[in-house]
Structure 1
Amino acid sequence: MTGQEEPSSFRLAYVPGVTPTKWVRVWNERLPDVPLTLVQVPAADADELLRTGGADAGLVRMPVDRTELSAIPLYTETTVVVVPKDHVVAAVEEVSPGELADEILLHPLDDTLDWERPPGRPALERPATTADAIELVAAGVGLLVVPQSLARLHHRKDLTYRPLSDTPESRVALSWPQAEPTPDLVEEFIGIVRGRTVNSTRGRAATPPQAKAKAKAKRPEKSGRLADKSPRAGSGGAKGAKGSKSVKRGGKPGKPRRRP
């Protein structure tokens, strides 16, 4: 980068519930000259944002439109059921769909789980958002099944949640518009989420030239180490050093001979 060039930037989209903090911190440490801008986007709009260039990459929920976007699955979330704290479900460690058969289950329009048929009995109307559904759970209207991160995001003191077994799970992925080759900054972020070290040969985040130069300057020269081990001028050499002791092989040290 020359002095006249403006620093480039990187726009990272993320959907509710996903926390990019740890990766952003690594980015800022490795590329302090490249600002990273976070763009929050509803899960249903993430693909369109990436396709239209609204972000360089995104932390999204699968499935992803693979015809125009590339994606790397990162992790799978636990599915939980959100209930009032005084609900019977709050007394157990885990619940199964069958145990919710008689409960009203809220199914918001922005639901991120790929249901064939949600468990329990459906509500008369579907809430517009997960946030709206949380309010209805607090009002005692019904229960809500969501990825655990969304339950944490919408945490309330009067609500709790428990893992729900044998249900769809939400997978989070890093996604970006398809291009050949992959843009350098996208490649950088791929390396960060995959845990590549700063010295990795992939991407421009490998050790910068100035860092390498500093490391080389601190490293002692081989010639200097060898010189330190060699005899100093005027020392008489290694043999001279041994000969300086007043000890004869087989004799006693330090006892002078008598003159006749």
Structure 2
Amino acid sequence: MHKLRVTYVAGVVPGKWIDRFTERYPQIELSVQRLDEGDPLAALASDDADVVFVRFATGENPRDDTRHVIPLYAETEVVCAAKDHDIEYLDQSVSAAELAEFEHLDLADYPVAVGGVAMAMEVVSSGGFVARMPMSLARLHARKDVIYREVHDGEPTQIGVAWLKDTEKSEMIDEFIGVVRGRSANSSRQGSVRAKQQQGSAKTKRATQTGSGKSGKAKPQGKAKPRKRR
């Protein structure tokens, strides 16, 4: 069985794409892994993944000569704070200026080894600090004692899907990217559909050529009957 390895950053919810792909291509085995720390693009370079879902700053697409990166959707930035913190009583959307007076945590100071984002949220719940992050991460690590508000002039991020340009699994990857981008099973942009269409066209062409090459003998015409004289 063919195998496709997919890695995604925390906050991405690839379940619908995985289910749709598995249903459409049961002959391909999918290996799916969430990456809570590190650069998923490094997994491509080291051949530890065939397709990765990556997070990057808006306007800073990491595509280059070796890989494709297609933006999928934007993520809103939020600020997380303890319940009953002053931020809870601000509007549903706050500005970066309003947040300047509060002590901020840096998520980079919370690697997986010390608990990652979950540990950062626990510190936030104590009330002494706030933390800014993509909304998807805030939802993933949601706590009853932590609230979040959208930062309307914050730094939005993008989620994109990336894969190498030169790979032996190009056909499988093309099918997976098609599912992620919402192509139907019969879309002519899918490689498998194009292949079937080309095969069908070739068969039709051969059948047409074979039919036009048949020869047949002309039917003999009967002799004209002599006209009777009156």
Q: Give the shorter-chain TM-score range.
A: 0.7 to 0.9
User: Distance between the aligned counterparts of 2:86 and 2:107, measured in 1?
Assistant: 23
Find 1:54's aligned residue among 48, 51, 63.
48
Query: Are residues 1:82 and 2:80 paired?
Result: yes
User: Distance between the aligned counterparts of 1:163 and 1:66, measured in 2?
Assistant: 32
1:184–1:203 CA contact under 8 A, matched in 2:
no
Q: Deviations over 1:147-202 (max 9, x none)?
A: 00000111111111110111111100000112178700110111111111111123
Supply the AA of the counterpart residue of 1:50.
Answer: L
Higher-RCO chain (CA-CA 8 Å, sequence separation at least 6):
2
Q: Which runs of 5+ in 1 are unaligned?
A: 1-6, 110-125, 210-260
Supply the AA of the counterpart residue of 2:104.
Answer: L
Q: Which residue of 1 aligns with 2:31?
A: 37
Alpha-carbon distance, 1:42 to partner? 3.3
Q: Which runs of 5+ in 2 are unaligned?
A: 197-230
* Mean CA deviation greater in 86-95 or 143-152: 86-95
Find 2:135's aligned residue among 145, 148, 157.
148
User: Distance between the aligned counterparts of 1:204 and 1:32, measured in 2?
Assistant: 16
Q: Which residue of 2 aligns with 1:220?
A: none
Supply the AA of the counterpart residue of 2:110.
Answer: P
TM-score by length of 2: 0.75
Q: Which residue of 2 aligns with 1:127?
A: 110
1:15–1:60 CA contact under 8 A, matched in 2:
yes
2:85–2:127 CA contact under 8 A, matched in 1:
no
Q: Which residue of 2 aligns with 1:246?
A: none
**Paired residues, what number?**
187
* Mean CA deviation greater in 65-74 or 48-57: 65-74
Alpha-carbon distance, 1:15 to partner? 0.6
Supply the AA of the counterpart residue of 1:157.
Answer: K
User: Distance between the aligned counterparts of 1:200 and 1:159, measured in 2?
Assistant: 45
Q: Deviations over 1:19-59 (max 9, x none)?
A: 10111111011101112110222353211111111111011
Larger Rg, first or second structure (1 or 2): 1
Supply the AA of the counterpart residue of 2:177.
Answer: I
Q: Which residue of 2 aligns with 1:8?
A: 2
2:183–2:190 CA contact under 8 A, matched in 1:
no
Supply the AA of the counterpart residue of 2:72.
Answer: L
The answer to which structure has the higher helix fraction is: 2
Query: Are residues 1:98 and 2:92 paired?
Result: no
2:83–2:125 CA contact under 8 A, matched in 1:
no
User: Distance between the aligned counterparts of 1:21 and 1:127, measured in 2?
Assistant: 27
What stretches of structure 1 move > 4 A for 4+ residues in a row? none
Q: Cα RMSD over matched residues?
A: 2.1
The answer to which structure has the higher strand fraction is: 2
Supply the AA of the counterpart residue of 1:136.
Answer: V
TM-score by length of 1: 0.67
